[in-house]
Chain A
């Protein structure tokens, strides 16, 4: 793998961002709105409930972590869609660039863009709404890692969908986080789900993160074994999705889809 080629894709993304406020603002605007909205909701809930329960770390923290995962996913898919929109596949894949280098470039772009969103969310949540990350302890790093890996997997999955079914399949990408959110147990414990949904939720790595987060906040304890399962699942999805993308790419090369993304016709 050539780091220079991976860096070229990151540089391309940097050039696009630098020259376009329309690309910069969405990196933080929607997540900032989410944090403000849920910040006030949690304040209100804290004021109307006389329980010892603090909604800020539970709900606002959950929103922040979930938005981080969604931003990681979108970081991958928007970098990929830039190539779809600019009909750039023929130029890219007729170069010495390999699929693994291409995916690494998308991941690097996503790290850069999602860190901007994360920084804005953390700033708002801590400064305006008093969310302290100390309450999660060292497990916060593990939570972020699992969500990061799963966000990457979802982004690669969405990109593979578009590569396979064409630019119109872009509309499959955006609802992916919403589609899986009921099973991720972002705001409620796994136990409230029907039995069959609990089984499905156990296949979704974020459910281990949010269960873990609630465990830390409510009982000051969390099963590291459970988080290890979540991490292993996230890693497994990442490998599977990378292989799926490679498979779709090979199919596109076999059938001429890559060429047709740029060329009007294939003789």
Chain B
């Protein structure tokens, strides 16, 4: 299966032949894909498939061995600052400093992202993520769910063109998770933004993502509509398909090649 992606007018993220190896170990092996405006793309795969490595490369904190990443028309390798000023992210493993309050963190990161009219923007994200009462609370004493909401508020602060979310609802209770999903969906529908979303919750992925990419051993094995993809591969649910990709990736690969 070929997954070549070339920058197109509508793409907010174009990843082409992205590869990362550590010595003999290949973490990401020639991955290509794109994310368009108003599109939420799920990056799925078992642990060690290369999802976080791919996200780290898109965030500019990990240098690819080869390949290119273009964010909203800016080549990340050549115009890092411009590319990253149009990007933001939230990940469970990257909480905001716990020794600063919610408002202090948002102000510092708002200045780093050069957010115009920062005070008004801070008020908007604090309201959107129901954080007004925690404004002066240190992030370290918030519950994990509240910290996730703060990380999402920071991720939305600069109104990014590309939003990277690594398991954004992993530590949230179902009610809050639903609200967060709705907020992100609304954000993607309203603004010219593309979202790359990783999750192990296949029900959530089916509900939220317009398209999914299944990664295994650093390669994209499958790509398609999360609601249609299971049927196309003789599985009842996306979770069943995920389990097959995780346990028997060769079965899928051979089927795709046939």
Residues of B within 8 A of A95 (CB): 84, 109, 112-113
B residues with a Cβ closer than 8 A to A are 22, 27, 47-53, 56, 59-63, 80-82, 84-85, 87, 89, 91, 93-101, 104, 107-109, 111-114, 138, 154
- In this complex, which of B27, B47, B109 has the most chain A Cβ atoms within 10 angstroms of its Cβ? B109
By DSSP majority rule, is chain B's interface helix, strand, loop, or mixed? mixed
A267→B111 contact, CB < 8 A: no
Q: Which of A200-230 contact B (CB under 8 A)?
A: none
List of A residues within 8 angstroms of B98 by Cβ? 86
Contact A258 B49 (CB under 8 A): no
CB neighbours (8 Å) of A89 from chain B are 61
A4 touches B114 (CB 8 A): yes
Q: A16-B99, A256-B62 are in contact. Are A267 and B93 (CB under 8 A)?
A: no
Residues of B within 8 A of A259 (CB): 52, 56, 61-62
Q: Are B62 and A12 in contact (CB under 8 A)?
A: no
A8-B112, A19-B99 known, 5 other contacts, Cβ within 8 Å:
A5-B114, A8-B108, A98-B81, A256-B53, A267-B52
| Chain B nearest Cβ from A204, distance in angstroms | 36
Contacts of B111 in A (CB 8 A): 4-5, 7-8, 11
Is there an interface contact between A267 and B48, defined as CB atoms closer than 8 Å? yes
Q: Which of A87, A98, A258 contacts B61 (CB 8 A)?
A: A258
| Chain A interface residue count, Cβ-Cβ cutoff 8 angstroms | 39
Determine the chain B residues whose CB is within 8 A of the CB of A96 once the complex forms: 80-82, 84-85, 112-114
Residues of A within 8 A of B89 (CB): 94
Which among B82, B84, B93 is the interface contact of A94 at CB below 8 angstroms?
Answer: B84
14 CB contacts below 8 A, A to B, read A8-B109, A82-B97, A82-B99, A86-B98, A87-B94, A89-B61, A91-B154, A94-B87, A253-B61, A256-B53, A259-B61, A266-B52, A266-B62, A267-B48
B109: A residues at CB distance < 8 A: 8, 91, 95
Query: Is residue A116 contacting chain B, with contact meaning CB distance below 8 A?
Result: no
A263 touching B93, Cβ below 8 Å: yes
C-beta contact mask, A1-38 vs B, less than 8 Å → 1, else 0?
01011011101100110011000000000000000000
Contact partner of A253 (CB less than 8 A), chosen from B62, B82, B104, B113, is B62
3 closest A-B pairs by beta carbon, nearest first, are: A8-B111, A86-B97, A94-B59
The distance from the CB of B71 to the nearest CB of chain A, in whole angstroms, is 12
Residues of A79-106 at the interface with B, using a CB-CB cut-off of 8 Å, are: 82, 86-98
With an 8 A cutoff between CB atoms, is A50 at the interface?
A: no
A265 at interface, CB cutoff 8 A: yes
